[in-house]
Amino acid sequence: MTSLKQLLSIDNFSIESIDISDINELVEKLPRTGVLDLNIAENCLILTLEGQNLCQEKIVVIDRWIGKLESLKNKSWSNAALVKAKAAGYTTAKDKEWHAQADDEFNEVQNQLTLAKACKKWFENKAGYFSGWHYALKTFLRRDYGIENASGTAYRGVSADEPFPYEGKGEVLVDDGDIWG
């Protein structure tokens, strides 16, 4: 059993080591063209939900990582502005601020934070991609099943020996002579 603490853990976490191969495999399984049939649409519908789920799981962990990096950024800026700037002989608030913004430790954390935010955006975009496909597939299936049902050709569990079910109310709408001349 996996606890929420284990699922959201950022111990030994690195943005660069996030495995995206499972997401890329799902993308490869989705149709590259607009050519669909019921079987493809039904199978892909499940893939889109799986893809959204994988992206959302990673986004939650990245959010925690971003929170940690925000704290480290603030800490490194404060350390550079209050401790390092004072040791370097800066006395005015503006000089200390400029010194902090030029600090290597602060800039390294800032770069990690920017990378984490870009990574989160990538996963959000992939989740949106899967969501868009999910909507398109649901719309296709709804339309296709609707056409089947409206045409009276949908499977209704009728055996081959029984005549084709007539859904009219007994009245003849078109005379055979009108059709066949």
- Tokens 């649901």 identify what position? 138
Q: Are the C-beta atoms of residues 115 and 17 closer than 8 Å to each other?
A: no
Q: What are phi and psi of 141, to 5 degrees?
A: -65, -40
Other C-beta atoms closer than 10 Å to the C-beta of 58 total: 20
pLDDT confidence tier of residue 143, bands split at 50, 70 and 90: confident
Calpha distance 177→166 (Å, rounded): 19
pLDDT digits (tens, 9 = 90+) for 69-93: 999 999 999 999 999 998 999 889 9
- The more confidently predicted of residues 102 and 142 is 102
Other C-beta atoms closer than 10 Å to the C-beta of 116 total: 20
60 has pLDDT over 90: yes
pLDDT digits (tens, 9 = 90+) for 123-142: 999 999 999 999 999 988 88
Q: What is the pTM of this model?
A: 0.74
Calpha distance 109→170 (Å, rounded): 78
